[in-house]
Structure 1
Amino acid sequence: MASTQAAQVLVASNRGPVSYQVAEDGSLHARRGGGGLVSGLSAIGPDAGALWVCSSLSDGDREAVRRGVGEPGVRMLDIPADVHADAYNGVANSVLWFVHHMLYQTPLEPSFDAEFRAQWESYEAYNRAFASALAEEAADGATAVIQDYHLTLVPGMLRALRPDLRIGHFSHTPWAPPDYFRVLPDDIAAAILHGMLGADRLGFLTHRWADAFRACCEAFVDGGVGGTRIGVHGLGADADFLRQRSHEPDVTERLASLRTEIGASPDGTPRRTIVRVDRTELSKNIVRGLHAYRHLLATRPEWRDRVTHVAFAYPSRQDLAVYRDYTAEVQRVAAQINDDYGTSAWTPVILHVEDDFARSLAAYRLADVALVNPIRDGMNLVAKEVPVVSDEGCALVLSREAGAYEELAEDAITVNPYDITQTAEALHTALSMPPGERAERAKRLAAAATALPPARWFLDQLNELEA
């Protein structure tokens, strides 16, 4: 269903700011989302003529579209469920995500066969649906900002339909270097790069990812990036929201519960805490983090019964077998550590796999050490959020492969995410850090982490695109 008024500013993303559920009585219930884009759009004001174009992701969403139910400023596309599944799981999450995060076990995968080619046709159709909707909704000379690896073809498609528009694209993931990007079939790689280069301006989270995109264009596209401008916008944490939300009653209640669960050391002092909060994405490196903690307990026995690893690993993409297997492995390793080292009074690993934002914020508040050790990550906002929220100031053990490393390295304890012994030693260093130094580092980390809050992050891109 098209909007009645042409939009001056348009955002396109796979997931929108609202989702719908069908109740037992057949009524529809809307649930509003949050995040940086929501903050950004609210920052430009209600009179800016903004529209968010997104995909229907569930049966409830598709039913809302069919009934003509919608939220002001949102257009949800009724893309057929099978087309969306092939585009989203078959291409975006099973191929593009793996390429940019360099996750393939190349002796066995990938294999680009006839099934993949059929899925790629769905990816093209999915992108075409977005391009058509944006072209239909945009006012003359409007600005469209397209989000992420799900929609890499949209800029080029939209340029062909509406050459009058100012078009931007922002990548929330890393970008693969040329030697890994060439894993893709030649025509697919070319289609993605040419699709992206349909934009006037491309945004990335770090200089490293922007440079990798340039290098791919120089390797595979005649003329390189041509006239497309490239910028870097390191999305920061929303300090005001986090600090306010982390002191609401439900968080305080979970904080008390976690403290009881963690308990006290034999001398009566509270146990120290190593906190991680992640989706069970393959790139997050949760299993190696657990092995590093196990190595800490094995080689530094003084920490036994004096530290607890609070690990929240919230299931992600469980419709893909490899993600289900990874979640199961996280649970297996955590249980093994508890079996080997736990006592009647001490549980070495407190693992939760049910998503609970209030409980995550409670863990942030009590963290002595935050462990963020991804194999590869576009940014990793957890690395930025924990120092902002922690009550006493936390030490940050940070992978050099996280996008946040570019901004936070000076005050973090950095690790090679593949090196378990180094990560264990970094955890020991972090746990041993004097409280004063830890608090000072956390203060500087929080300042760097909030330098570009979500609303300004979005407005900066918009201003650069419209300049």
Structure 2
Amino acid sequence: MKEDDPRVKVGKFLEDKHLIIASNRGPVEFKKDNKGNIQLKRGAGGLVSTLQPLMEAVNGTWVASAMSLVDAEVADQYPENRVPITPDDPKFTVPFVVVDRKRYEYFYSVISNPLLWFVQHYMWNPPYTPEIDQHIHLAWKEGYSYVNKLFSEKILEEVERTNKEPVIILQDYHLYLCPALIRQELEDIFLSQFIHIPWPQPDYFSMLPSYMEEAIIRGLLSNDIVGFHIPRYACNFLMTCEKYADLVDYYQQKVIFEGRVIQVKSYPISVDDEGIKNFAASQEVKEKEKLIKELKGDNILIYRTDRADLSKNIIRGFRAYDLFLEKHPEYRGKVKFLTTGKPTRQQIKEYRDYHTEIQRTIGEINSKHLKDGWKPIEHIFKADYALVLAAFKNYDCLIVNPISDGMNIVPKEASVVNEQNGVLILSDKAGCYDELKEYSLNVNPFDVSETAQAFHTALTMDEKEKKERMDGLKDKIRERNIFHWITDQFEDIERLFG
């Protein structure tokens, strides 16, 4: 890291500290190739890119689940499942939490997803779902609570390994119960937790059984700092705390609970803009651009990239495109909608059904509007990141229309490298909406008609306005990149330590 990199200041603060990160998905994963050889792969996402250099600089510890049988196999080769990363040149350590597969399924596929994920993304249909049956109660006890206990025990073991003062940063909704379990053993320890998904309004969150809700709130209020991406989610959380806390102070963004003060803050995550631009200029991405430009041809290119998650609102986006072509048939043969993505959480029925419906919708629209060999939607299955970046560089219109999400960094990644002054269509329910709304065409994600009109507006916008909007997006992202996200948190941690 360069001396003026904001992470350098964080590194200096951590020189005499023991940094412990905990998350369900870790910074690395292990796979087997066709010959059965085990290979180490770096974890995906900006969180790993941001935190891993810090972990290496301070010889930190990242506690994570063994997500696969190969992870568990590798962990078993090391005492107490503490895997050095990398084994031939250790810079930091990943102690894996290895869980029986049935208990892990309870933890991940019954409680974390879909129950908590659906509640926090407003995805349940209250007249019909959720139905909290005995299976869910069992999964909470035997899966979610059990795994959180294992995580807390593993973290406490790591605390005992050094005389340095520990700084523990928990990540996301998988570990809601962990802070309370740690606090029971070490009352004066510093704990911080960042929630990467939305926090809903109290009435919606209360669809959870009361004992689950109370355990979650007590767990989170065992932290010293609870972080969210945007102020609205922090405010929703503060409102949820009202019936449990001694005092909720909205102005100072704090909760007093059992004699302790908990800060509730928002830290909008962003992207590594320079890193993305460097990769976008690589030969690997340039090779992928050949395919994108071949698909685009002389067409106007509309693009979206998402996991097939119900919260991403993919089908309504296609329905809006269908309506746009109905209203403006002159664009048939002149516009191409490219979508890249892959199925996710296919062990959960709702996700399998949604992925099937996406495929059916694409087929229906293509059949309906097919003209002289022109296909209105192209779907590339399981696109790699190099191909996604190639599409980011070449789109004329990008649609990001989730019904709810924590932040959604797709518009930020895409705007950093786009070379066409592409227009962003953005849901007003996206976490990044408040940051980017001035430079995007904003839509209600449930309003298919409004989204169809947004397609037309984007495709007919004059070049001057397109450039002004894109310049605004690029400036906004450059002003606050992902390193500001982490340094802002550590500044608050350092202030509270003092």
TM over 0.5: yes
Give the counterpart of 1:148 among 159, 166, 172: 172
**Cα shift at 1:149:** 0.6
Contact 2:55 2:61 in 1 (8 A): no
Measured in 2, the distance between the counterparts of 1:60 and 1:316 equals 20
Count of aligned pairs: 456
SS in 1 for 2:479: coil
Q: Find out whether 1:198 has 2:227 as its counterpart.
A: no
Contact 1:7 1:137 in 2 (8 A): no
1:70-149 alignment runs, 5 A limit:
70-71=84-85, 72=90, 73=92, 74-121=94-141, 122-138=143-159, 139=162, 140-149=164-173
**Cα shift at 1:15:** 0.5
Measured in 2, the distance between the counterparts of 1:188 and 1:217 equals 14
Q: Find out whether 1:424 has 2:458 as its counterpart.
A: no
Using the size of structure 1 for normalisation, the TM-score is 0.94
1:288-303 alignment runs, 5 A limit:
288-303=316-331
Measured in 1, the distance between the counterparts of 2:313 and 2:272 equals 25
Contact 1:7 1:50 in 2 (8 A): no
Contact 1:242 1:389 in 2 (8 A): yes
Letter in 1 for 2:155: L
Letter in 2 for 1:44: L
**Cα shift at 1:163:** 2.2
Measured in 2, the distance between the counterparts of 1:360 and 1:45 equals 28
Using the size of structure 2 for normalisation, the TM-score is 0.88
Measured in 2, the distance between the counterparts of 1:47 and 1:239 equals 22
Measured in 2, the distance between the counterparts of 1:148 and 1:235 equals 13
1:126-275 alignment runs, 5 A limit:
126-138=147-159, 139=162, 140-224=164-248, 225-226=255-256, 227-263=261-297, 270-275=298-303
**Cα shift at 1:254:** 1.9
Give the counterpart of 2:54 among 39, 44, 47: 44
1:61-72 alignment runs, 5 A limit:
61-68=71-78, 69-71=83-85, 72=90
Structure 1 residues 224-233 or 272-281, which shifts more? 224-233
SS in 1 for 2:96: strand
Measured in 2, the distance between the counterparts of 1:202 and 1:216 equals 13
Q: Which has the higher contact order (CA 8 A, sep 6+)?
A: 1
Give the counterpart of 1:277 among 302, 305, 308: 305
1:299-314 alignment runs, 5 A limit:
299-314=327-342
**Cα shift at 1:159:** 1.4
Contact 1:168 1:201 in 2 (8 A): yes
RMSD after superposition: 1.7
Letter in 2 for 1:213: F
**Pair 1:39–1:260, CA change in 2 (3 A):** closer
Percent identical residues: 35
Measured in 1, the distance between the counterparts of 2:32 and 2:276 equals 31
Gaps of 5+ in 1: 1-5, 264-269
SS in 2 for 1:44: helix
Residue of structure 1 equivalent to 2:423: 395
Structure 1 residues 377-386 or 46-55, which shifts more? 46-55
What's the CA shift string for 1:174-225, capped at 9, x where partnerless?
Answer: 0010110110101100100110000000110000111110011114545443
